[in-house]
């Protein structure tokens, strides 16, 4: 197959990229790992959106709220651009039939989206714009031309295991972040595949130390809806209140308590109005409770913290300009796959900025990739070869077990002791084990077609963990969500982005918060 | 996790096979699809909202399948409950615009 622009991933960022590129006259193929419309973290959720009308005071306030939380790493020009683009795109959703609610005064409220509705509409818009969708078609590796530019991708149909190859003039990575198969809602397809493919083509990452977001969920359930726990009280196994435990500003207290024993929550601080609003705002929050026979307002239920990694962290592929170009020619990135530090610095929760970033960076990446495709002189005639990374090329005669590798990586990234509460020693010890796993993977044989997807997911998770912890070691302070208990203070001299990349040898570097290169990779 | 497809209600349209984001189902020509890879289920409940016959049941547990086999009779009252709650049935369309997130965000201010 051949196309102008190949979009990998069909969540909010990928669908907006496809729409944006197709509207600019590019031929577009969107390849989704699952089904474009249900794939990704947005589809099964409800999400607030950073939708702020063009009022100078309101936008100034919106930008100021997250500055300190994010460790002063966000860029004002990027925030302005995201606010502007998001406002226009959300208005367009309304014009295209998205059923935004009205409040009691009859005003339209456009600052949140229901995942099933939103993504069903996005699929329709992608098709309406003339882009072709390939469902259940995960990309496994990029095609790279003789000059190092990206020229398409190879993948498989996950149902038949048949291979596919698409030559493209440019590629958008919109594969989401990496949540390490923690079973947080909607994240099972989000294993860092795009980071791995892009890094194999030489792309750089940024902010990978901001990768330890954990969300509250009932211990048995996938449903993570941290907002609702603003109305929760938290108790231990004896029924005693846990001092300082809170969804916002007290989640680390919950993590500490979970290291001691079971923790229970109860949404008993919600009054009648809040209870009714919760049911209407996100019906699926209540499905697990209703089906398990628990009333979350009156009965304590055991909770856990599920790792959401970079899905709700802010690290990802480094962008070099507002066309959402990465450091590799012909390669663009959007949504959780691209670093969100540009508008959030080192911290976000779910929704809001994340949703705004996905749609804005998606639209920009589609536009950028379409412009690159128009100017790509060699076009589809150029010779391109697959990157042939781990699990795809012949090794030294021993196989590796993807399920065992996934467990081994999870054992490094799930524990609060290593990832939530970080220290130089802890990260270094974990990296020794992760590097050893990488050498094993490097020596392994290529996976069989029926194992290729799981094998590449496992490799992507391993690579992501190594960039995370190497970046965490390089940031010798606490900033944003990166909390080091051996270095608890924010160091004003480290107001820079930590860049990273590399596969066999992982490197880190620095870029100052105003975007100009500071020094070569260390 | 996905627990049941009701052969009584299923029309073999195979929409669930198409829309499942993690390819849990396999189509069987002329028959009810089978749950072929239950372990891959991400408990997102989206198969239920896309099923026009309300013939699917997703259990509450995301970590493991239900210990006991779930009988359709025991979950009949929940049939289609999520699809109705988000306004995706003919008689519940008004609920599509019932998102009260703004009320919650307003209460937090």
ipTM exceeding the 0.90 mark:
yes
| Phi, then psi, of A56 in degrees rounded to 5 | -55, -45
Find the residue in A nearest to B101 (Cα): A281
Give the integer Cα–Cα distance in Å for A74 and A455.
Answer: 35
Helix ranges restricted to H, A313-448: 341-344, 353-375, 402-413, 424-443
Residue-wise pLDDT tens digits, A283-305: 999 999 999 999 999 999 999 99
Chain A hits for B81, Cβ within 8 Å: 287, 290
Confidence at residue A515, expressed as pLDDT on a 0 to 100 scale? 52
- Structure-block tokens of residue A424: 């130089």
Confidence at residue B70, expressed as pLDDT on a 0 to 100 scale? 82
Say if residues A347 and A317 touch (Cβ distance below 8 Å): no
Give the integer Cα–Cα distance in Å for A90 and A110.
Answer: 7
Token pair 């080091």 is at which residue?
A484
Within 8 A by CB and 6+ apart from A511, the residues are A206, A318, A496, A497, A499, A517, A518
Confidence at residue A518, expressed as pLDDT on a 0 to 100 scale? 41
Confidence at residue A448, expressed as pLDDT on a 0 to 100 scale? 87
How many C-beta neighbours within 10 Å does residue A401 have? 14
Q: Given the DSSP bridges, would you call strands A163-173 and A331-333 parallel, antiparallel or unpaired?
A: parallel
Give the integer Cα–Cα distance in Å for A259 and A416.
Answer: 8
> In terms of C-beta density within 10 A (0-12 exposed, 13-18 middle, 19 or more buried), how is residue A288 classed?
buried
Query: A284 to chain B, minimum CA–CA distance in Å?
Result: 7
SS3 content of chain A, % helix, strand, coil (to 5): 40, 20, 40
Closest to B17 (Cα-Cα) out of B9, B8, B28: B28
Find the residue in B nearest to A110 (Cα): B102
Residue-wise pLDDT tens digits, B26-69: 999 999 999 999 999 999 999 999 999 999 999 999 998 887 78
Asked whether the CA dihedral A274, A279, A284, A286 is positive or negative, the reply is positive
Chain B hits for A100, Cβ within 8 Å: 97, 99
Average pLDDT of A165-183? 97
Which among B45, B62, B87 has CB closest to A284? B45
How many Cα atoms within 13 Å fall on the side-chain side of residue A416? 15
Mean pLDDT for chain A overall: 94
Question: How would you list the strands of the sheet with A507-512, edge to edge?
Answer: A316-317, A205-206, A496-501, A507-512
Say if residues B105 and A47 touch (Cβ distance below 8 Å): no
pLDDT category at A68 given cuts 50, 70, 90 is confident
A44: which strand partners? none
Within 8 A by CB and 6+ apart from B76, the residues are none
Confidence at residue A520, expressed as pLDDT on a 0 to 100 scale? 38
**A94 in contact with chain B, both atoms CB, cutoff 8 A:** no
Residue-wise pLDDT tens digits, A415-430: 999 999 999 999 999 9
- Structure-block tokens of residue A345: 């610095």
Confidence at residue A187, expressed as pLDDT on a 0 to 100 scale? 96
- Structure-block tokens of residue B58: 């997703």
Confidence at residue A400, expressed as pLDDT on a 0 to 100 scale? 82
B23:A221 CB<8 A: no
Average pLDDT of A16-22? 98
Chain A hits for B82, Cβ within 8 Å: 283-284, 287
**A289 in contact with chain B, both atoms CB, cutoff 8 A:** yes
Chain A hits for B58, Cβ within 8 Å: 287
- Structure-block tokens of residue A121: 């509409």
Give the integer Cα–Cα distance in Å for A139 and A9.
Answer: 9
> In terms of C-beta density within 10 A (0-12 exposed, 13-18 middle, 19 or more buried), how is residue B94 classed?
exposed
SS3 A135: coil
SS3 A475: coil
Query: B78 to chain A, minimum CA–CA distance in Å?
Result: 8
Within 8 A by CB and 6+ apart from A501, the residues are A199, A202, A203, A204, A205, A467, A507
Give the integer Cα–Cα distance in Å for A69 and B17.
Answer: 43
A277:B40 CB<8 A: no
pLDDT at A169 over 60: yes
Confidence at residue A521, expressed as pLDDT on a 0 to 100 scale? 36
B99:A109 CB<8 A: yes
Higher pLDDT, A364 or B63: A364
B96:A136 CB<8 A: no
Give the integer Cα–Cα distance in Å for A233 and A243.
Answer: 10
DSSP A473: H
**A115-126 per-residue burial string, b: 16 or more CB within 10 A, e: under 16:** bbbbbbbbbebb
* Number of structural domains found in chain B: 1
pLDDT category at A377 given cuts 50, 70, 90 is confident
pLDDT at A376 over 90: no
Distance (Å) of CA B63 to CA A124, A220, A512, B74: 33, 6, 42, 21
Say if residues A180 and A313 touch (Cβ distance below 8 Å): no
Query: B95 to chain A, minimum CA–CA distance in Å?
Result: 8
Average pLDDT of A168-187? 97
Closest to A288 (Cα-Cα) out of B5, B58, B95, B67: B58
**A386-399 per-residue burial string, b: 16 or more CB within 10 A, e: under 16:** bbebbbbeebeeee
Give the integer Cα–Cα distance in Å for A233 and A356.
Answer: 30
Which among B46, B63, B99 has CB closest to A183? B63
A508: which strand partners? A500
Residue-wise pLDDT tens digits, A243-258: 999 998 899 999 999 9
Which 99-118 residues of chain A touch chain B by CB within 8 A?
A: 99-103, 109, 111-112, 114, 116-117
What share of chain A in percent tops pLDDT 70? 98
Query: B42 to chain A, minimum CA–CA distance in Å?
Result: 6
Give the integer Cα–Cα distance in Å for A520 and B20.
Answer: 45
Among B104, B105, B108, which would you mutate to test the A interface (most chain A Cβ atoms within 10 Å of its Cβ)? B104
Which 452-511 residues of chain A touch chain B by CB within 8 A?
A: none
Confidence at residue A517, expressed as pLDDT on a 0 to 100 scale? 45
SS3 A74: coil
**Concatenated DSSP letters of A278-343:** HHHH-HHHHHHHHHHT--TTTS-EEEEEEEEETTSS--EEPP-STT-B-SSTTEEE-GGGB--HHH
SS3 A398: strand
Say if residues A487 and A477 touch (Cβ distance below 8 Å): yes
Query: A220 to chain B, minimum CA–CA distance in Å?
Result: 5
Average pLDDT of A364-369? 98
Closest to A174 (Cα-Cα) out of A113, A128, A117, A126: A126
Range of the domain at B64: 2-107
Q: Number of Cβ pairs closer than 8 Å across A and B? A: 145
SS3 B42: coil
What is the enclosing helix (H) or strand (E) of B84? Answer: helix B81-85
A102:B97 CB<8 A: yes
DSSP A445: P
């Amino acid at each position: 197959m051949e196309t102008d622009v190949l979009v990998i991933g069909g969540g909010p960022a990928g669908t907006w990229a496809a729409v944006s590129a197709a509207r600019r006259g590019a031929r577009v193929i969107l390849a989704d790992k699952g089904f474009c419309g249900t794939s990704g973290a947005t589809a099964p959720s409800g999400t607030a959106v950073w939708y702020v009308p063009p009022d100078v005071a309101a936008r100034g306030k919106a930008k100021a709220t997250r500055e300190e939380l994010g460790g002063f790493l966000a860029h004002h020009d990027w925030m302005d651009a995201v606010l502007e683009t998001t406002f226009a795109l959300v208005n367009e959703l309304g014009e295209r039939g998205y059923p935004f609610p009205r409040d009691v005064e009859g005003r339209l409220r456009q600052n949140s989206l229901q995942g099933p509705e939103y993504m069903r509409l996005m699929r329709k818009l992608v098709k309406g714009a003339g882009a072709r969708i390939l469902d259940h078609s995960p990309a496994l590796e990029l095609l790279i031309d003789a000059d190092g530019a990206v020229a398409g991708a190879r993948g498989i149909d996950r149902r038949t295991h048949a291979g596919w190859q698409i030559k493209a003039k440019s590629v958008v990575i919109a594969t989401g972040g990496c949540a390490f198969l923690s079973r947080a809602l909607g994240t099972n397809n989000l294993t860092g595949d795009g980071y791995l493919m892009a890094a194999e083509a030489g792309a750089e990452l940024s902010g990978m130390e901001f990768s330890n977001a954990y969300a509250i969920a009932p211990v048995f359930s996938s449903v993570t809806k941290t907002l609702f726990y603003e109305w929760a009280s938290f108790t231990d196994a004896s029924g005693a209140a846990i001092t300082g435990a809170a969804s916002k500003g007290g989640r680390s207290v919950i993590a500490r308590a979970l290291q001691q024993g079971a923790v229970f929550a109860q949404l008993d601080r919600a009054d009648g109005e809040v209870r009714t609003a919760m049911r209407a705002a996100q019906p699926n929050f209540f499905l697990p409770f209703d089906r398990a026979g628990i009333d979350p307002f009156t009965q304590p239920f055991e909770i856990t913290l599920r790792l959401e990694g970079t899905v709700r962290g802010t690290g990802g592929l480094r962008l070099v300009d507002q066309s959402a170009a990465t450091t590799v020619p012909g390669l663009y990135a959007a949504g959780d796959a691209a670093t969100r530090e540009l508008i959030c610095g080192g911290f976000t929760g779910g929704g809001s900025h994340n949703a705004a970033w996905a749609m804005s960076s998606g639209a920009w990446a589609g536009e950028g990739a379409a412009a690159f495709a128009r100017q790509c002189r060699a076009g589809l005639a150029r010779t391109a070869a697959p990157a042939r990374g781990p699990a795809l090329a012949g090794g030294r005669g021993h196989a590796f077990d993807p399920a065992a590798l996934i467990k081994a990586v999870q054992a490094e990234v799930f524990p609060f002791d290593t990832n939530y509460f970080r220290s130089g020693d802890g990260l270094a010890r974990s990296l020794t084990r992760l590097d050893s796993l990488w050498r094993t993977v490097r020596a392994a044989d290529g996976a069989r077609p029926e194992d290729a997807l799981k094998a590449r997911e496992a490799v992507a998770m391993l690579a992501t963990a190594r960039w995370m912890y190497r970046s965490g070691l390089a940031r010798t302070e606490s900033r944003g969500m990166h909390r080091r208990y051996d270095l608890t203070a924010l160091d004003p001299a480290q107001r820079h982005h930590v860049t990273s990349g590399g596969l066999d040898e992982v490197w880190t570097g620095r870029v100052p918060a105003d975007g100009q290169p500071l020094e070569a990779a260390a | 996790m996905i627990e049941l497809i009701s052969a009584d209600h299923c029309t073999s349209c195979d929409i669930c096979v198409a829309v499942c984001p993690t390819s849990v189902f396999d189509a069987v020509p002329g028959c009810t699809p089978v749950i072929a890879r239950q372990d891959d289920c991400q408990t997102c409940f989206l198969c239920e909202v896309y099923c026009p016959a309300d013939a699917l049941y997703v259990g509450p547990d995301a970590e493991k399948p239900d210990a006991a086999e779930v009988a359709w009779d025991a979950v009949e009252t929940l049939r289609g409950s999520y699809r109705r709650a988000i306004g995706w049935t003919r008689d519940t369309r008004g609920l599509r615009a019932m998102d009260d997130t703004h009320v919650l965000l307003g209460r937090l201010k």
